[in-house]
């Protein structure tokens, strides 16, 4: 005879088991999205680390090869690409990012990197202005931009870190 306890446990587990091991086929996995870090095509910068990205996008100053400060540019708050980037690089969801920047400003610290909601404008700014960089979907890269390696990996490498479901 199963005890009351085991019945109760089964009641907790079975719904999950039904979800996980049931015969119904799961839907096909959604396509992965690859984010790339881009800068001006003829910039001296060719690589950046995840740590540097995190610093850049949390208000720290990071200098490029020429010694001048890099200028990070963002997508609009809650834009899908920004949400993905914030999760991958900053380990924050949209609410956490919002709190982070509001709290920083109330402390008197600098605000968030400039957000450019228009992707075409964003690409043009990065292509035009030395020192600027941003992130794009891999399919949105234009010829005047250069894609940076991240932590030593190019976007097609298996261990490229900026890939999200």
Partner 1 sequence: MLMPQRSALVNTPRRSRLGGLALVCCLALPRAARGEVDGALALQTTDALPAPASAPPPTPALPTEPVPEAAPPAVDAGAPKTPTPESAPLTAEESAALAALSSELSPGPETLDLDEPQIDLYGFADLTYVTQVGKKVAFAQHHASFMVGGFNVYFSTEFERRWRSLAEVRFMYLPNGGYAGETQYAAVQGSARADTSVLDPADLNKPVRWGGVAIQRVWLEYRLSNYLTLRAGQWLTPYGIWNVDHGTPTIINVYRPYILNENLFPERQTGLEAYGSFFAGDTKLGYHLTLSNGRGPIDTYLDLDDNKAVGARLFAQNDALLGTLTFGVSAYRGNYTERSGNGTTIEDGELVIFDPPTEKYSELALAADLKWEWEGFYLQSEAILSELRYSDAARPSYSPLPPAPVPTQIADSRRYGAYALLGYRTRWNIMPFVLGQLYHNPLISDSRELAVGVNFRPSPRVALKAEYKYVFIEDPPGLILGDIDFLGLQVAWSF
66-95 residues near partner 1, rule: CB under 8 A: 68-69, 71, 73, 84, 87-89, 91-93, 95
Does the protein bind partner 1 through residue 11 (CB under 8 A)?
no
Q: How far apart are CA 84 and CA 162, in angstroms?
A: 9
Please provide the DSSP assignment of 98-121 as one string: HHHHHHHHHHT---PPEE---HHH
Token code pair at residue 100: 């982070």
DSSP state of 82: H
Residue 1 Cβ vs partner 1, minimum distance, rounded to whole Å? 27
Residue 113 Cβ vs partner 1, minimum distance, rounded to whole Å? 10
Nearer to partner 1, 7 or 14 (CB): 14
Nearer to partner 1, 1 or 12 (CB): 12
Residue 44 Cβ vs partner 1, minimum distance, rounded to whole Å? 8
Nearer to partner 1, 1 or 9 (CB): 9
Q: How far apart are CA 35 and CA 4, in angstroms?
A: 51
Nearer to partner 1, 3 or 91 (CB): 91
Q: How far apart are CA 154 and CA 138, in angstroms?
A: 11
| Chain-centre distance for alpha carbon 109 | 23
Nearer to partner 1, 3 or 139 (CB): 139
By the 8 A CB rule, do 126 and 105 touch?
no
Does the protein bind partner 1 through residue 25 (CB under 8 A)?
yes
Does the protein bind partner 1 through residue 151 (CB under 8 A)?
no
């Amino acid at each position: 005879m199963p005890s009351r306890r085991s019945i109760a446990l089964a009641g907790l587990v079975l719904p999950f088991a039904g979800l996980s091991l049931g015969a119904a086929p799961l839907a096909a996995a959604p396509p992965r999205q690859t984010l790339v870090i881009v800068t001006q095509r003829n910039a001296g910068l060719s690589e950046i680390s995840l740590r540097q990205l995190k610093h850049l996008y949390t208000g720290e100053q990071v200098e490029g090869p020429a010694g001048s400060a890099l200028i990070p540019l963002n997508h609009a708050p809650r834009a899908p690409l920004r949400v993905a980037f914030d999760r991958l690089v900053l380990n924050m969801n949209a609410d956490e990012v919002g709190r982070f920047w509001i709290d920083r400003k109330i402390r008197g610290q600098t605000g968030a990197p400039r957000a450019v909601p228009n992707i075409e404008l964003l690409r043009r700014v990065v292509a035009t202005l030395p020192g600027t960089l941003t992130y794009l979907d891999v399919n949105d890269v234009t010829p005047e931009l250069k894609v940076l390696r991240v932590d030593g990996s190019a976007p097609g490498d298996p261990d490229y870190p900026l890939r999200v479901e």
